[in-house]
Amino acid sequence: MAEPSRRRRALELWREGYTHQVRGDLTRAVALYSESITTLPTAEAFTFRGWAYRFMGRIDDAIAECRQAIAIDPDFGNPYNDIGSYLMTKGELDAAIEWLEKAKRAPRYEPRHFPYMNLGRLYEAKGMALQAIKEYTAALEIAPGEPTCVHSVARLQAMLN
């Protein structure tokens, strides 16, 4: 199969996998992401297969998938954010900071405000209210009116007063 047709087929499989994942059919989503990767490995397919693994409770596998994604495309920010989020799930807050900071700097990343939100949650969990407010506020500069950030800033500011 020629490169452009392999790329098209891999993208079709990835999109189909995402559709199944949104519907809650994680097993089928993983199978489709895997077929996409076999067709043509992409950072997106590895990242989203990792996301499916996370919902299956396979956090270490999810992290490994994100590392594969980064190896393919270090400019793609989603896997950095996802690793940070997965480490937070594991209670490894300090280890998560580095990954979330990398996500903030990634050239190619949407939704760009997520690592700021995650860092806000992380610093809040560590009892660092001012740092949390700073991160939530930065997220609001990117995504004005984002409800979680608006409520978190208001709650933390009220707590400090």
Query: pTM for this structure?
Result: 0.93
Quick one: pLDDT at residue 161? 87
pLDDT tens for residues 21-31?
999 999 999 99
Token output for 75: 């400019």
Q: For residue 76, what are the β-bridge partners?
A: 108
| CA distances, 61 to each of 15, 64, 75, 154 (Å) | 21, 5, 21, 36
CATH superfamily of 1-102: Tetratricopeptide repeat domain (1.25.40.10)
Pick the closest to residue 121 from 151, 143, 78 (CA basis): 151
**What mean pLDDT is reported for the chain?**
96
pLDDT at 144: 97
The mean pLDDT value for 109-135 works out to 97
Check residue 1 and give its pLDDT: 64
Using one digit for the tens of pLDDT, what is the confidence trace for 129-157? 999 999 999 999 999 999 999 999 999 99
pLDDT tens figures, 51-87: 999 999 999 999 999 999 999 999 999 999 999 999 9
| HSE value, Cβ hemisphere, 13 Å, CA-based, for 155 | 11
Single-letter residue type at 78: N
Q: What is the CA radius of gyration of the chain?
A: 17
Report domain extents, the chain. 1-102, 111-161
pLDDT for residue 3: 83
